[in-house]
Structure 1
Amino acid sequence: MVGTSLRYSKTDNVPSNSTAQLPSRPQSNPIPSFWTSQPQPLDDHRSTPTLPPSASIVIIGGGFSGIATAYHLLNTPNPPSIVLLEARKICSGATAMYGLSAAAELASFEAVNVYAVKELVEKEGLREECEFQVTRAVDVYLDEAHARQTEEAYRELMGCGGVDMRDIAFVSRKDAEKVSGVKGAHCAFSFTAAHLWPLKFIHGLLRQLLTKGPNVQANTPVTSISPAPDAHGNWTVHTPRGSISTPKVIYATNAYTCALLPSYARAITPIRGFCSHIAAPRGSPAPHLVNTYARSYDYLIPRTDGSIVVGGARQRFWHAPEHWFGTVRDDKVIDEAVSYFDGYMQRHFRGWEDSGAKTENVWTGILGYSADYMPHVGCVPGKPGQFVIAAFNGHGMPQILLSTKGLAKMVGKGVPFEETGMPRIFKTTKERIDRKDSPLEESFR
Structure 2
Amino acid sequence: MSSHQPAPLPIANPTSSYWMHQPHPVLENFCSSEELPSHVETVIIGSGISGALIAHDLISRCPNVADKRVVMLEARSVASGATGRNGGHIKPDCYKNFASFQERHGSETAKTLCRYELENMKASAQFIIDEGLDKAVDLVKTNAVDLFLDEKAWEDAKAALKLQLEAGGDLSDITVHDKAQSEEKYRFNDVLGAVSYPACSLWPYKLAVGLIEKAMSNGLQLFTNTPALAVSLAANGKWQIETSKGHFVGKIVPVKGNVVAIEPSLDFASRPLDHTCSLQWGSDFDYMIQRPTDGNPLIFGGCDLAHPRKLTGPIGDADDSTTTPEIVDALLQFPVKYMRGWGNEASARISWSGIMGFTADELPFVGELPGRTGQFVAAGYTGHGMARVFLAIKALMQLAHNEAIDPRVPRVYFDIERRLKQKDDEWETMLEEAYSGQKESRSVPLERL
CA-CA distance at 1:283 after TM superposition: 7.2
Higher mean C-alpha displacement, 309-318 vs 192-201: 309-318
Query: Which letter maps to 1:131?
Result: D
Say whether the 8 Å CA contact 2:302–2:331 is kept in structure 1. Answer: no
Structure 2 vs 1, CA of residues 35 and 285 (structure 1 numbering), >3 Å: closer, same or farther? closer
Letter of the structure 2 residue corresponding to residue 425 of structure 1:
V
Q: Distance in 1 between matches of 2:3 and 2:180?
A: 44
Q: 1:24 to 1:136 in 2, by over 3 A?
A: same
Number of matched pairs:
403
Q: Which amino acid aligns with 1:391?
A: G
1:318–1:295 CA distance, 2 compared to 1 (3 A): farther
> Is residue 2:180 matched to residue 1:169?
no
Q: Distance in 2 between matches of 1:181 and 1:428?
A: 43
* Cα offset, 1:421, TM superposition: 4.0
Correspondence 1:313 to 2:287: no
| 2:409 alignment counterpart | 422
Of all paired residues, the percent bearing the same amino acid is: 29
Measured at CA, do residues 299 and 51 of structure 1 come closer, stay the same or move farther in structure 2, by a change above 3 Å? same
Counterpart secondary structure, 2:397: helix
For residue 326 of structure 1, the aligned residue among 301, 306, 316 is 316
Q: Does 1:24 align with 2:20?
A: no
Contact 2:258-2:324 at 8 Å conserved across structures? no
Deviation of 1:26 (Å)? 1.4
The partner residue of 1:278 within 262, 267, 277 is: 262
CA contact (8 A) 1:140 1:187 kept: yes
Match of 1:235 in 2: 239
**Counterparts of 1:148-159 in structure 2 under 5 Å?**
148-159=155-166
Change (3 A) 1:344 1:69: same
Q: Give the distance between the partners of 1:427 and 1:22, measured in 2 at CA.
A: 22
**Normalising by the residue count of structure 1, what TM-score does the alignment of the two structures yield?**
0.85
Q: 2:54 is matched with which residue?
A: 69
Structure-1 separation of matches of 2:338 and 2:172: 29
CA distance in 1, matches of 2:382, 2:275: 22
CA-based RMSD: 2.2
- Structure 1 residues 145, 284: closer, same or farther in 2, change over 3 A? closer
- Contact 1:124/1:208 (8 A) holds in 2: no
Structure 2 residue identity aligned to 1:89: S
**How has the CA–CA distance of structure 1 residues 419 and 111 changed in structure 2, closer, same or farther, with 3 Å as cutoff?**
closer
Q: Which residue of 1 aligns with 2:289?
A: 301
2:186 aligned partner, one-letter code:
S
Consecutive unaligned residues of structure 2, counting only runs of 5 or more, are 87-96, 431-441, 445-449
Shift of 1:357: 3.6
Question: In the TM superposition, what is the alpha-carbon distance from 1:393 to its structure 2 partner?
Answer: 1.0
* Runs of 4+ residues over 3 Å off in structure 1: 77-80, 228-231, 281-287, 318-323, 418-421, 438-445
AA in 1 matched with 2:129: E
The answer to which of 176-185 and 289-298 deviates more is 176-185
Contact 1:372 1:439 in 2 (8 A): no
* Partner Cα separation in structure 2 for residue 378 and residue 273 of structure 1: 26
Task: Give the TM-score of the pair, scaled to structure 2.
Answer: 0.84
Structure 1 residue 211: Cα displacement: 1.8
Q: Once the 2 structures are TM-superposed, how far is the Cα of residue 439 of structure 1 from its aligned partner? A: 5.0
The equivalent residue for 2:91 is none
> Could you tell me how far apart the structure 2 residues matched to 1:426 and 1:399 are?
10
Are 2:377 and 1:388 aligned? yes
How far off its partner does 1:420 sit? 5.9
* Mapping of residues 12-411 of structure 1, within 5 Å: 15=1, 17-19=2-4, 21-41=5-25, 42-77=27-62, 80-94=68-82, 96=97, 97-99=100-102, 100-161=107-168, 163-226=169-232, 228-231=233-236, 233-238=237-242, 259-261=244-246, 263-280=247-264, 287-296=271-280, 297-304=285-292, 305-317=295-307, 319-320=309-310, 323-353=313-343, 356-411=345-400
Q: Secondary structure at the match of 2:160?
A: helix
Q: Identify which range, 378-387 or 103-112, moves more after superposition.
A: 103-112
Aligned 8 A contact 1:267 1:434 in 2: no
**Pair 367,438 (structure 1): closer, same or farther in 2 beyond 3 Å:** farther
User: Counterpart of 2:39 in structure 1: which amino acid?
Assistant: S
Alpha-carbon distance in structure 1 between the residues aligned to 2:279 and 2:425: 25
1:3 paired residue number: none
Residues 292-301 or 206-215, more deviating: 206-215
The separation in 1 between residues aligned to 2:148 and 2:178, in whole angstroms, is 10
Counterparts of 1:142 and 1:391, CA distance in 2 = 28
1:237-258 Cα offsets, whole Å, 9 max, x none, are 138xxxxxxxxxxxxxxxxxxx
1:103–1:286: structure 2 CA closer, same or farther, 3 Å change rule?
farther
